[in-house]
Amino acid sequence: MDEKFRKQMEENGANIDTTLDRFMGNEALYMKFIMKFLEDKNYEALVENIEKDDFEGAFNSAHALKGVTANLGLDPINAQAAKITELLRNKQPEEVDVETLKKCREQLEEVYSRFQTIIRENKAQ
């Protein structure tokens, strides 16, 4: 992993050291999986489900995104996905705080986009 990429990731809140421990120090394996994150569809599914007021589907997508980002050390995305997961957990549609959900989704979009950009820029190298 090149130092520029590592620095960008860490400056934006990624937990590289702990994640590399999870990957047994294998940077090449970590890079393989971090690049695969560009193909992960959980974020898009989450946004789509929120837009359709499919809160159960949104919960499932947020929960899956939370798991993926936990494994990759993408802590800022993970934190926002966790907020959405808890906001929707065991809620009937009429019980969902839609305003708070909208704010959480906006915050998720900001951190998600930031990491997607960092990863894409470093994929080209």
Q: What is the per-residue pLDDT for 77?
A: 98
pTM, whole model, 2 decimals? 0.93
Q: Would you give the DSSP letter of residue 96?
A: S
Q: What does the block give as tokens for 114?
A: 């930031």
CB-CB contact of 85 with 100 (8 Å):
no
Residue type, 37: F
As a whole number of angstroms, the distance between CA 43 and CA 113 comes to: 10
Q: Where are the alpha helices (DSSP H) in 23-97?
A: 27-36, 42-51, 55-72, 75-88
Q: What is the per-residue pLDDT for 84?
A: 98
Which residues of the chain fall short of a pLDDT of 70? 124-125
